[in-house]
Amino acid sequence: MEVKNYIPHPALQEYVFRISTVDVLLPEGMKDVVTPFPTTPFQSLLFYCNNPISMNRTGEGDFEKQPLSVVLGPQFTRVNLKVYNRLRCISVDLLPGGMYRILGIPMQEMFDGGFNALDFFGVEMRIIKEKLQHIPDLAEGKKIVEKFLLKKVVDLKEILPLDSALQTLFKYHGNLSMDKTASLSCLSLRQFERKCKKRLGMNPKTFARILRFSKAYRLHEAFPHLNWTEIAYKAGYYDQMHMIRDFKTFAGVNPSVIKQQLLTTPLRMQKDLPI
């Protein structure tokens, strides 16, 4: 599994956190593999350059094939991904508020869902999808996607102090008080909480929990030798019990179970996300 993370073009950096290319080739004789994918704080655009993945939620039976281009809204529930033979993908992870600034759609309407990008971008996305099926390498695909994103800059909704405040909360992995974050947004706490639901799709306390949890989970994937007490400390948890609670909410199981589940798959889909 090869993941390359790119710093976005300077004109994109006020709303795009990272552009990544992912190239997965399953071991010989393995035609597909299922791997857990717990909640992350990112709202994303995903572009599959060959076969897309299939996805289900824990407790559901059937896996559903995903579109070749996906708009991923604010996530709350862990999903399971099925990867076939070889996966070539370009992922665009947006800063908090970035998806709202592109689409102008209240994010609570996209809560915990993934959607066909064709429904939002029409012919423009169809052209990109076709180009990505014929690229010589993922670096060329990254250029195509970045060119698309640059065209969107002129139509972005205005950046607000609220967006800057949420980006500060993001930078600190959720370890910033709500009073402090609200003051950075130049809003009262009540106004801040109300406007977050439109911008993020959830209240800021939930987003802060997801930020802490995601850091803890990524630490485990990247450094499996760390024990859970060390991970809880590094992620900013008050104690290990708070971390276990969040794992049950956002990974669907406690930390020891997700550790065992990861032993059944060769893939670590969040290992290369920056911590």
CB 87 within 8 A of CB 22: yes
Whether residues 105 and 10 share a domain: the answer is yes
**Residue 273 falls within a domain, yes or no?**
no
What is the chain's length?
275
Secondary structure element (H or E) that encloses residue 18, with its range: strand 16-25
275 located within any domain:
no
Q: Verify that 142 and 239 share a domain, yes or no.
A: no
What's the pLDDT score for residue 274?
76
Alpha-carbon distance of 19 to 45, in angstroms, equals 10
Q: Report if residue 274 sits inside a domain.
A: no
Residue 23 within any structural domain of the chain = yes
**CA-CA-CA-CA dihedral for 174, 249, 45, 69, to nearest 10:** 180
Q: Looking at the domain assignment, is residue 107 inside a domain?
A: yes
Where do runs of H (alpha helix) occur along 91-239? 98-103, 118-132, 138-152, 161-171, 178-184, 189-200, 204-222, 228-235
Q: Verify that 33 and 142 share a domain, yes or no.
A: yes
- 198 and 212 together in one domain: no
Strand order across the 16-25 sheet: 2-6, 16-25, 86-94, 43-48, 69-72, 114-116
Say yes or no: 54 and 182 in one domain: no
| Residue ranges making up the domain that contains 49 | 2-155
Spans in the chain with pLDDT lower than 70: 59, 275
pLDDT at 60: 72
Query: What does the pLDDT read at residue 1?
Result: 86
